[in-house]
């Protein structure tokens, strides 16, 4: 019988891609999402692409009773936990909401898991937990810190999970620290669909390319980097999702807490991304240099060696794939899932 996986936040950007890959790998997928930042259309498209069914519950993780009802109905082999709020700037304006949704939501989820004896979880952490790293590439044993409430929710959740694994050694926990996820499924059917003005670079560039925004603001060109603009480790969302499938396949052999960086190990600057997108899309990306964005760091890229070793996983898609796939999704769905 196939294993049953609960995917929280499965209607979202990374969750929908991971659900697709889990189905393709032969898992049964149940999704819980409150749709606060997504559309159920993403899951309908995953069903069409895979010709398989996803059981969907529109439930908020802060609702313990509703969550318990789902665990009563299904015996899960493991949980992949994406659900949460993720806008760094917004997290400073409404920190209580971020702490409630991300931390209280996760505590509820883990209490339900404990109660129904499902103690395997893969969690979406972030490279943001490294704060401003002393050097690059970043390894998992670098010191962790946070500079905003969003980052603190990731940091606290990691600590909560470590404490739980100490208290009950049956727990098997994989903390995946993502660098900068971009791209879309090669079908062009699912992708990133940010509400309002995108906070992140890649969706902003693609909205300029499609004519939805006039120009990109490049946040600073006086960083100590080769061209003065910020350098990041962009990773294709399908590579990232593939690492989740591998983590689920290997989790029974991983005791306690395993912490892994998910990146490519390569850094690209903002202007590298602009140039590559112009080449891939054939469109001109208008931009202007503006002040640095508060809280941004100069450069950040991963040493992904540990994930390569532990998961037998490696990012295989390069910058051209990231851009071609983003552009296919954006040009076929100029208004996202509302197109």
Q: Which residues are catalytic?
A: 150
Q: Is 83 in the site for ligand NAD (CB under 6 A)?
A: yes
Q: Which tokens is 186 given?
A: 């090669």
Extended strands (E) in the chain: 4-8, 28-33, 55-58, 78-81, 120-126, 172-178, 180-182, 216-219, 231-232, 234-236, 256-262, 268-269, 287-290, 299-300
Q: Which tokens is 98 given?
A: 């971020």
Residue from 6, 88, 176, 271 binding ligand WQD (CB under 6 A): 88
How many residues belong to the chain?
A: 339
Q: Is 130 in the site for ligand NAD (CB under 6 A)?
A: no
Residue from 22, 27, 45, 84 binding ligand NAD (CB under 6 A): 84
Question: Which does residue 101 touch among ligand WQD, ligand NAD, none (CB within 5 to 8 A, set by kind)?
Answer: ligand NAD
Question: Which does residue 218 touch among ligand NAD, ligand WQD, none (CB within 5 to 8 A, set by kind)?
Answer: ligand WQD
Q: Which is nearer to ligand NAD, 177 or 289 (CB)?
A: 177
CA angle 101, 105, 109 (to 5 degrees): 165
Partnered with residue 122 across adjacent β-strands are 80, 174
Q: Is 37 in the site for ligand NAD (CB under 6 A)?
A: yes
DSSP letter for each residue of 301-336: -B--HHHHHHH-------HHHHHHHHHHHHHH-TTG
Q: Is 77 in the site for ligand NAD (CB under 6 A)?
A: no
Question: Which does residue 33 touch among ligand WQD, ligand NAD, none (CB within 5 to 8 A, set by kind)?
Answer: ligand NAD
Q: Is 206 in the site for ligand NAD (CB under 6 A)?
A: no
Q: Is 145 in the site for ligand WQD (CB under 6 A)?
A: no
Residue from 20, 23, 46, 61 binding ligand NAD (CB under 6 A): 61
CA pair distance 53, 35, nearest whole angstrom: 18
Q: Which stretch binds ligand NAD (CB under 6 A): 10-18, 137-145, 296-304, 316-324?
A: 10-18
How many chain residues touch ligand NAD (CB under 6 A)?
A: 26
């Amino acid at each position: 019988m196939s294993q049953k996986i609960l995917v929280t936040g499965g209607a979202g950007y990374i969750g929908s891609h991971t659900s697709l890959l889990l189905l393709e790998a032969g898992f049964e997928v149940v999704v819980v999402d409150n749709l606060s930042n997504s559309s159920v259309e993403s899951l309908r498209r995953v069903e069409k692409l895979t010709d398989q069914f996803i059981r969907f519950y529109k439930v908020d993780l802060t609702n313990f009773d509703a969550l318990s009802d789902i665990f009563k109905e299904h015996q899960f082999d493991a949980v992949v936990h994406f659900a949460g709020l993720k806008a760094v700037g917004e997290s400073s304006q409404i920190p209580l909401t971020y702490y409630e949704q991300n931390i209280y939501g996760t505590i509820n989820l883990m209490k339900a898991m404990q109660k129904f004896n499902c103690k395997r979880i893969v969690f979406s952490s972030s490279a943001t937990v490294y704060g401003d790293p002393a050097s690059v590439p970043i390894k998992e044993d670098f010191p962790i810190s946070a500079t905003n409430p969003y980052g603190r929710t990731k940091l606290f959740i990691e600590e909560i999970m470590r404490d739980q694994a100490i208290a009950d050694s049956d727990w098997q926990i994989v903390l995946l620290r993502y660098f900068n996820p971009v791209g879309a499924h090669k079908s062009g059917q699912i992708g990133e669909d940010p509400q309002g003005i995108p906070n992140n670079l890649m969706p902003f560039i693609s909205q300029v390319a499609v004519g939805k925004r006039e120009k990109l603001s490049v946040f600073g060109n006086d960083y100590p980097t080769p061209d003065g603009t910020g350098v990041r480790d962009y990773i294709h969302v399908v590579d990232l999702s593939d690492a989740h499938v591998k983590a689920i396949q290997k989790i029974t052999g991983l005791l306690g807490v395993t912490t892994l960086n998910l990146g490519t190990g390569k850094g690209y600057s903002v202007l590298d991304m602009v140039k590559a997108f112009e080449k891939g899309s054939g469109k001109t990306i208008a931009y202007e240099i503006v002040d640095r964005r508060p809280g941004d760091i100069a450069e950040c890229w991963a040493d992904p060696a540990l994930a390569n070793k532990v998961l037998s996983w490696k990012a295989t898609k390069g910058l051209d794939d990231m851009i071609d796939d983003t552009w296919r999704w954006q040009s076929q769905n100029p208004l996202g899932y509302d197109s």
